[in-house]
Amino acid sequence: MTEHTDLVAEIEAFEEKLALARASITKRFIGQTRVVDLTLTALLCGGHGLLIGLPGLGKTRLVETLSTVMGLNGKRVQFTPDLMPADILGSEVLETDADGRRSFRFIEGPIFCQLLMADEINRASPRTQSALLQAMQEKAVSIAGETRPLAAPFHVLATQNPLEQEGTYPLPEAQLDRFLVQIDVEYPDRDTEKAILLATTGLVEEESEQVFTAAELIRAQQLLRRMPVGESVVELILDLVRAFRPEDPSALPEAMRDVAFGPGPRAAQSLMLAVRAAAMLNGRLAPSAEDVAAMAAPVLRHRMQLSFAARARGANLSDLIATGVARVTGIEAAA
């Protein structure tokens, strides 16, 4: 009983800090609460986020603000076709000391940070994109035959422009699967855009304050994994993920017809963590079916693909996920 009471007290304490963090973030990234919550979800789950949106919607501003509010050492890399793996990971250089002795010294690349913004990640070559794979999964990189651990916590928030595809290299499915959530950044509504104009075109802008430290974020990530999940929610997660696998007997008829490949076990793991984060961000002690419906699209949409015939017919992946969520959970899905 004491252990349960302590867990409740810890969750409630972190929920208060999360409310302060959200308030601090929205001083510089106005509105778009869904985007803020999904980005915080990625951090709370110890994962990575893929931000997809047109230029000028504040993606870079959001990541910079998160770095400040969450107390993380953040760095930014602008991905370009000529970017090499060593530009991200670092490299060894040959040095000569005062006595004429030569030795190699490793110079760390920008990946040795706690929050890496990979800006326009799909502009880099597949060779450079693959340099992130080990880092994102294992929180370490292998350079010159030596494995070097990255800082803890370590998160990648990558951005993509959804329209401009000329001269880009689409991310392979193996790398997309490493992102816990896909976060679509849309145009703000009129009232939000007015607030942005008034807040950002004057002499002084509001500044965000640090709320978390890196150590506190790690404790929040550990606490999230201790949050209880009801058996009914676990079954819903399994039902939902398996509903989009075309070869599964329990798959939706639409998935059997239109889906080329469905989400794997990592999708179920990510959804299990994401529903806990959704509950924590909303001040609750355990996730519900509503959290499963809310987190389904961000967790699943980059982990599955429509067949060529379905795309040619004009089928839409977001609509398919919304249909599946409504049918499995009985709740209308969030975007």
Over residues 7-46, the pLDDT tens digits come to 888 888 888 999 999 999 999 998 889 999 999 999 999 9
Angle, CA 39 vertex, CA 66 and CA 58 arms, to 5°: 65
Are 143 and 134 within 8 A, CB to CB? no
Identify the pLDDT of residue 103: 81
CA distance linking residue 44 with residue 225, whole number of Å? 10
49 has pLDDT over 80: yes
Average pLDDT over residues 49-67: 92
Strands 155-160 and 305-306: unpaired
Give dist(CA 160, CA 119) in Å, integer: 7
- Asked which of 92-96, 260-264, 298-302 is least confident by mean pLDDT, the reply is 92-96
Q: How confident is the model at residue 335 (pLDDT cuts 50, 70, 90)?
A: low
User: All domains of the chain, ordered by start, with CATH?
Assistant: 1-226 (3.40.50.300), 228-335 (1.10.8.80)
Q: Which one-letter amino acid corresponds to residue 209?
A: E
Span 251-276, average pLDDT: 94
Rounded to 5 degrees, φ, ψ at 314 are 90, 15
How confident is the model at residue 159, as a pLDDT?
92
**151 secondary structure, DSSP code:** P
Q: Is the pLDDT of residue 284 over 70?
A: yes
Instruction: Please give the Cα distance from 37 to 210 (Å, whole number).
Output: 17
**Nearest-angstrom CA–CA distance, 127 and 124:** 8
Read off the amino acid at residue 155: H
163-173 as b/e, with b when 16 or more CB fall inside 10 Å? Answer: eeeeebbebee
CB atoms within 10 A of CB 286: 15
The pLDDT of residue 6 is 82
CA distances from 213 to 2, 66, 73, 133, 219 (A): 27, 12, 10, 26, 10
Distance, in Å, from the CA atom of 74 to the CA atom of 66, rounded to the nearest integer, reads: 9
pLDDT > 90: what percent of the chain? Answer: 60
User: Torsion angle, CA of 246/249/250/256, rounded to 10 degrees?
Assistant: 30
Q: State how far the alpha carbon of 195 is from the alpha carbons of 22, 27, 39, 60, 190, in Å.
A: 17, 11, 21, 19, 9
| Percentage helix, strand, coil for the chain under 3-state DSSP, each rounded to 5 | 50, 15, 35
Tokens, residue 238? 């399994």
- Predicted confidence band of residue 324 (pLDDT cuts 50, 70, 90): very high
CA neighbours within 13 Å on the CB side: how many for 282? 16
Q: 151 with 73: CB under 8 angstroms?
A: yes
Residue in 164, 183, 171, 163 with CA at minimum distance from that of residue 66: 183
Please state the rounded mean pLDDT for residues 139-163. 88
pLDDT band (50, 70, 90) for residue 155: very high
pLDDT of 173 reads 84
Question: Looking up tokens 């967790």, which residue turns up?
Answer: 299
From the list 75, 36, 48, the residue with the least C-alpha distance to 158 is 48
| 104 pLDDT tier (thresholds 50, 70, 90) | confident
Q: What residues pair up with 156 in beta bridges, in sequence order?
A: 116
Task: Check whether 163 has a pLDDT greater than 80.
Answer: no
Comparing 79-88, 169-178, 238-247, 253-262, the range with the smallest average pLDDT is: 169-178
d(CA 71, CA 65): 10
Q: What is the structure's pLDDT at 190?
A: 93
How far apart CA 79 and CA 129 sit, in angstroms, is 9
pLDDT at 1: 54
